[in-house]
Amino acid sequence: MSTSLKPFNTFGIQSNASQIVIAQTVQQLQQAWSEAALAQQPALILGEGSNVLFLDDFAGTVIINRIIGIEVIEKDDAWYLHVGAGENWHHLVEYTLQHSMPGLENLALIPGCVGSSPIQNIGAYGVELKKVCDYVDCVDLRSGEQHRLSSPECLFGYRDSIFKHQYQDGYAITAVGLRLPKIWQPVLTYGDLTRLDPATVTPLQVFDAVCLMRMTKLPDPRVNGNAGSFFKNPVIIGEQAAELLSNFPNAPHYPQADGTTKLAAGWLIDQCELKGFKIGGAAVHRQQALVLINDAQATSQDVVKLAHHVRQRVGEKFNVWLEPEVRFIGQQGEVSAVETIA
């Protein structure tokens, strides 16, 4: 018996799994994983499926993490939150603002669950999760042993963390600890936020501005299936950046502390005049070139072919080779997204 994964991925790609289990406790999560291991089947842990592309039917058990709960401890310096991995991220942002605990407003409307946020070290409009992350709780699914990793131990990088490496296989995130300082400092470095006055702006005004930017630029997954930003913003070395900027002086670029330069992948794609470009049922979004959408019952192969085409066009024009931010899932588990679209 196979079960449809279409409701469990925001791309809305039709694929099946041998079994789908909803886990509301650590014990249920571990039990489902153990049963799959005993049956010698692969197991995949999923939040809201907002950052995955299923390439094929999954030959095992998909475990949906729905561990919920928000606990708050107030101290003199900050609010400390312990949040279940299955909580919706945007609902958490709303909850903190409703309870006068600012700090997450720049991360509003990022799709997905709280438990997925450390994996990617989610970020938007000048703020990354690592800025507010205190710790991450996870369980070793083989032994049942629970671990708490401090923020430095998570090895956060740009859309990267230890949960993509040493803690990827056989581990599941169960909760995330956040620290929101009581002295609030707005981050107004990107987009429409630069027009706000740092002396008078409120957290709610930042939240509203971020929501407006995202809603006007990004497609609603309920209308056009998508996984948000499909590609990472590329980071290139200083020499390459200097050469690129001499040829394209208007290119948005963000110098990094280590001497590298981050580029805007959406701008690079846009310069290749790819907005609205289609392959099969997949298309480049007309408002935001960084987003690939399920325009008309796209298959996973439509999306892969489109991503390959976009990568090639950008590579040929700029000598910059884009890498997907989205996780690619094959029959047995995650596979290399770069190799798949190369």
pLDDT of residue 216: 87
For 14, what's the count of Cα atoms within 13 Å in the CB-facing half-sphere? 5
Q: Provide the annotated active-site residues.
A: 159, 229, 325
DSSP helix, strand, coil percent of the chain (3-state; round to 5): 30, 25, 40
Q: From 216, 247, 254, select the one nearest 319 (Cα to Cα).
A: 247
d(CA 267, CA 188): 20
* CA pair distance 238, 162, nearest whole angstrom: 27
Alpha carbons 217 and 75: distance in angstroms, whole number? 38
Which helix H or strand E contains 266, and what residues bound it?
Answer: helix 265-271
8 A C-beta contact, residue 115 and residue 67:
yes
Report pLDDT for 191: 86
What is the value of pTM for the model shown? 0.90
Residue 112's φ and ψ, nearest 5 degrees, are 115, 180
Q: Residues of 60-80 as b/e, b for ≥16 C-beta within 10 angstroms?
A: bbbbbbbbbebeeeeeeebbb
Longest dimension (CA), the chain: 60
The pLDDT of residue 77 is: 97
Query: Residue 172: its pLDDT value, please?
Result: 96
Q: Copy the structure tokens of residue 311.
A: 């990568």
Whether the CB-CB separation of 114 and 86 falls below 8 Å is answered with yes
Phi and psi at 227, nearest 5°, equal: -120, 35
What's residue 223's pLDDT?
84
Closest CA to 127 of 147, 104, 101, 144: 104
pLDDT one digit per residue (tens) for the chain, 342 residues:
569 999 999 999 999 999 999 999 999 999 999 999 999 999 999 999 999 999 999 999 999 999 999 999 999 999 999 999 999 999 999 999 999 999 999 999 999 999 999 999 999 999 999 999 999 999 999 999 999 999 999 999 988 999 999 999 899 999 999 999 999 999 999 889 999 999 999 999 999 999 999 988 888 888 889 998 999 999 999 899 999 999 999 999 999 989 999 999 999 999 999 999 999 999 999 999 999 999 999 999 999 999 999 999 999 999 999 999 999 999 999 999 999 999
Q: Within a 10 A sphere around the Cβ of 197, how many other Cβ atoms?
A: 9
Q: How far apart are CA 154 and CA 122, in angstroms?
A: 13
Scanning 22-158, the segments in alpha helix (DSSP H) are 26-38, 89-98, 117-120
**CA–CA distance, 83 with 154 (Å, rounded to integer):** 17
